[in-house]
Amino acid sequence: MDIAREIFARLNKPVEINIYPYERCLYQMKTGERDVLLMAKKNPEREQFMLFTDVVASDPQLFYFDSAHKPAFQWTTWSDLKGYKVGVVRGFDYGPFRSEAKKHGVHVEEVSDELQNIRKLMAGRLDLIILNRSTAVYFKQSNPASSANLKSADKAVTNAQFHYALSKKGAAAPLLAQMNDAIRQMKADGTIQRIIGKEN
């Protein structure tokens, strides 16, 4: 959100940020009800109704576990996940995970937001969840007492490339080139790294 505020400040444009379940955000982008979706992964399905900026940041998506319920977890191949209950967020893009999970009989449970997943994991109702590393770091910093047992596997599910997405029907679509200019400037002057660094 801090990155978005800085981008639009550099464009001299007002910005209002709202938080909704991710699947609802995607629907709002399809209809043009919302103009911009923050930190979205690009794929062919989404490109049908959204334009994407240059990459804003990279962030690995990792399997997290609660060491109070599961002392350790590492994985090498998708078949290692067989028999595990894995929590994901509805509408999120996890690279090849969903198709591989189906192929290998992994039990996948969907929820509407990441906090629900973390709570289910801490309650022992899930074996693993997938989180972006920066999200996990932010949660740990915000909830030090309750997150002490939140651990991750070393190997990433995928290394996510995040963009800002603009609804093709939204008012921000004509700003794509200007947003890319701002992103390039913010990378060059270290602004993006400074903002991300606050959470890492």
The reported pTM is 0.74
pLDDT tens digits for range 84-111: 999 999 988 899 999 999 999 999 999 9
Res. 145: pLDDT tops 60? yes
pLDDT tens digits for range 57-81: 888 999 999 999 999 999 999 999 9
Strands 128-132 and 85-89: parallel
> Rounded distance, CA 27 to CA 174, Å?
20
Q: What are phi and psi of 34, to 5 degrees?
A: -120, 150
Structure-token pair, residue 51: 């334009």
Give the chain's domains with CATH numbers.
2-57+160-197 (3.40.190.10), 60-157 (3.40.190.10)
pLDDT above 70 as % of the chain: 98
